[in-house]
Structure 1
């Protein structure tokens, strides 16, 4: 009988020091006694895309922009958790004030388990809590994007200027990284002067240097990086980190904080968007919001732009009358536009750990108070050491090799583009498994490390739907995880492939005892599948729930410019409006990319 779901222990340590509170920010109040507050653009959601849009649109001092955000500055809630890379894992279970406290519906493909799904309620959104990976997606993914929406501007060559606009690259600090952890990168592919600070973390995980040897031993070639349209191979991972101080670079720190003095930008913090208001011509005229138990109307002269994310953008459309008519009528919502695709087509990556006890230092050492004190001192004084890295500093991606796909079913054998990986292997998060499937407890004080096998090209599709006509009630989030036969077969192969690397002679010198997870008792395909069903987790990469497509496609929600089909003066610009989940280690970077592109579209009219 299987023990409870194994998980990885993240390290919620004390703060290094109290992060500076944001003072003097241009917060605008909402009052029912005031007349409707008027702006050119009203952006719902001050997350990754929302703040990029707000920044670019307010470059014109004559354009007035309001940002509606349910949270506030992350530093005011979680201290420096959003700044110090090594604290990224704290958000999985910590900082409840910054979380929407979402849970999935019971997942049929995961033995009925309901997963907590952390979405950040804060300026910067999930860019304030993620593991800071920076990468492009593949050339063929952009080609497919362009074909699906009928717009050649989405090809890789045409989007490259927007990738470069997101990047301000600094070379790695080779003086503080291990000599066998020197990243190889092609400077021609990097860019400076863009929005996000990008570099390699000043601390390299020792575990990663060994995993690189194991991956190479099974034939996965080393590459310079993942910023040239090619995702196949293995490489050190670039991070959205400011090299000078080691802090996270996010949409809040890069696109908002330096521009807080713009008088044409208004922030409505701690303010919940309740519904989009339409006139009789089906034009979005503004947003009804609530703050401190007060409801008021914020008027948009030109457009309302939703950037509330993969769950709440479809939810807000639905409660406002845009969505599947039958669903809206169930809650007595007036149907403005019958769009059956709203909330459909959602994708997410899934991942599963393989773990060993090892004889190199991992994040397990941070449980030791003396070691933690030393790490804090090193970060404070040198912007280096274990806390300078979130842990996800090495990654490999590939197609499943031929010898492992011989038994694939017809559903699984599909033609993906040549540069589109099926699976990935990554080293984060390093931590201590609570227990393995037999209930064996970890050795106190020992170092444990994990290699995550992840499904990059899922075929399972989920949905988001309202549970009531109110935004204050969480939506029903059904990821429909692991229900496609193809996903099961590919993940079984991914576990076998990860084991090949871990059990190679190259890694033998650092492994102690037998495999901890899933353990030697899990060998057959049936046993691996059972392990997967009880152990997998979503990777918090929900995408495509308001799918972009051609206006002739009845399931498309937005067109190639992000405009909601069936209404006017309303766009969706965030992870929900992608046509699919883009392959790669950092899909959130594509959200920056889309926001940069569509900001240009909006400015051109």
Structure 2
């Protein structure tokens, strides 16, 4: 059996960073295993390419949730990256840390060392920010952050927010999260700058790093005295065993990491016995605490030019492609950039809803496939409550690793979340009613809420919502092994030499997009792994 110091399962946003950091001093030999493909497609480089990757079978697991009772039994589409770079290679590139209270709550749940002040240095270590070295940012990290100009129709959204009394925010990753403005995105010279490109690609030259793609890990191997000692994996259909002299690290994401733990005998004993899997460690919290941001969409037809006009006809599409190919500019070098974090209680309140303003209109085909542009100008407003209280689960469907697990986010399963959704819908209605947005709007492209009463707004949310693809929390940190999977060092309770490093470790979801917090966790975890060697 071939042996390595560390085995990292999953080359996603976290795993790519671990592979780089654990090999950079040359002392440790690391194996990185990715179930998906190599990242060779041009769509993976192009910022707007995420639209092409939305249903791409080669680069996307294309999961669906179980039927959601509060969303008219909809099985919500749940894309997950199946490629080097993971979901960070196919996402919309919005770079948001979250707010101070998110991380201070991590500490309150039994995780010393994870307060906002504790994690800020690791966020700064990540980024090469246009503001350079400040109290909040660094100019020397590996992920390039940019903040570009937005389409002129975004000014109407900004004016609408101001008309309701909200303040502009020039830096959502600075002193405060609240306000409206332009999002940071992780791009470099018009190309996606994910952990796969910024961390892993340079590290591939190192002799002490071995990477296997199309390598599906079936289970973690254990020794009664030593704990986790390796993995059993199908590499392009051939079964192999690899040994870990120090630790096995699971970085397969909020869906695949709990699935792999359960398949390996670490999980709720009743679930494992039901699927005839020998129980190594009764860990009832594995797969529980799943969280996601539910996103509600308003599609509007505009009475003036939007980004649809830049790419509506084939000759315009060819022009955009040439502009990107030769100059890395134009529509294909962009992504969602305008939005904000507002308080549904009114200006000055704690931000509790995230808004996205997209100067583009499209339709999602009922039968799958990539989003299709509408043949006329339009724009879209989405909102997501920042801190949902609903908690779902990830559970294996069988003992077969090839069978997708049951993903149940339990959207809107609490009264608190239903009220938050109603408040968010009411806020968007108020924005659309301002003179600033009314002046650029021709009509709604889909039914709008029938009224401003709670019942009408909730009915609209149930009919026009889906995931914003921020699944996390399914192997959470915490001091109580009955309620959490990991300790604050990211070690699995009751199991030696096994850690988890990905978005599944979040005790609670952060306010906003979760790719930046996931990469932060990986930076901090790499230091923990190198400091605390077994």
TM-score, normalised by the number of residues in structure 2? 0.94
SS across alignment from 1:427: strand
The equivalent residue for 1:604 is: 531
Q: Would you say 1:354 and 2:315 are equivalent positions?
A: no
Give the Å deviation of 1:493.
1.5
The equivalent residue for 1:230 is: 176
Among 382, 394, 410, the alignment partner of 2:338 is 394
Contact 1:522–1:531 (Cα < 8 Å) also in 2: no
**More displaced stretch, 498-507 vs 233-242:** 498-507
Give the Å deviation of 1:384.
2.2
Give the Å deviation of 1:127.
0.8
The equivalent residue for 1:373 is: 318
The equivalent residue for 2:26 is: 61
Contact 1:98–1:122 (Cα < 8 Å) also in 2: yes
Q: Which has the higher strand share?
A: 2
Give the Å deviation of 1:226.
1.1
Among 46, 49, 59, the alignment partner of 1:87 is 49
Q: Would you say 1:301 and 2:301 are equivalent positions?
A: no
CA distance in 1, matches of 2:158, 2:165: 11
CA distance in 1, matches of 2:85, 2:358: 22
The equivalent residue for 2:119 is: 159
| Shift in CA distance, 143/521, structure 1 to aligned 2, threshold 3 Å | closer
CA distance in 2, matches of 1:470, 1:128: 27
**More displaced stretch, 552-561 vs 372-381:** 372-381
1:181-209 deviation line (CA, Å, top 9, x unaligned): xxxx99653321101011113x5223322
SS across alignment from 1:97: coil
TM-score, normalised by the number of residues in structure 1? 0.83
Q: Would you say 1:44 and 2:6 are equivalent positions?
A: no
The equivalent residue for 1:29 is: none
The equivalent residue for 1:209 is: 155
The equivalent residue for 2:413 is: 483
SS across alignment from 1:581: coil
Gaps of 5+ in 2: 367-371
**More displaced stretch, 526-535 vs 308-317:** 526-535
CA distance in 2, matches of 1:206, 1:268: 45
Measured on the aligned residues, the alpha-carbon RMSD in Å equals 2.2
Contact 1:548–1:578 (Cα < 8 Å) also in 2: yes
The equivalent residue for 2:369 is: none
Give the Å deviation of 1:128.
0.4
| Shift in CA distance, 520/473, structure 1 to aligned 2, threshold 3 Å | closer
CA distance in 2, matches of 1:317, 1:544: 14
Contact 2:450–2:457 (Cα < 8 Å) also in 1: no
**More displaced stretch, 373-382 vs 477-486:** 373-382
1:391-414 deviation line (CA, Å, top 9, x unaligned): x101111222269xxxxxxxxxxx
CA distance in 2, matches of 1:311, 1:332: 21
Contact 1:149–1:560 (Cα < 8 Å) also in 2: yes
Give the Å deviation of 1:548.
0.4
Among 452, 464, 467, the alignment partner of 1:538 is 467
CA distance in 2, matches of 1:64, 1:326: 37
CA distance in 1, matches of 2:16, 2:421: 36
CA distance in 2, matches of 1:204, 1:253: 25
SS across alignment from 1:477: strand
**More displaced stretch, 427-436 vs 276-285:** 427-436
**More displaced stretch, 482-491 vs 427-436:** 427-436
Gaps of 5+ in 1: 1-35, 172-184, 404-417, 437-441
| Shift in CA distance, 387/329, structure 1 to aligned 2, threshold 3 Å | same
Contact 2:62–2:78 (Cα < 8 Å) also in 1: yes
Give the Å deviation of 1:420.
5.3
Give the Å deviation of 1:553.
4.3
After the TM superposition, which residues 415-426 of structure 1 pair with which residues of structure 2 at under 5 Å, given as runs? Answer: 421-426=351-356
When the two structures are aligned, how many residues end up with a matched partner?
A: 526
1:271-291 deviation line (CA, Å, top 9, x unaligned): 100000111126000000012
| Shift in CA distance, 523/443, structure 1 to aligned 2, threshold 3 Å | farther
After the TM superposition, which residues 94-243 of structure 1 pair with which residues of structure 2 at under 5 Å, given as runs? Answer: 95-151=56-112, 153-170=113-130, 189-201=136-148, 203-242=149-188
Give the Å deviation of 1:146.
1.9
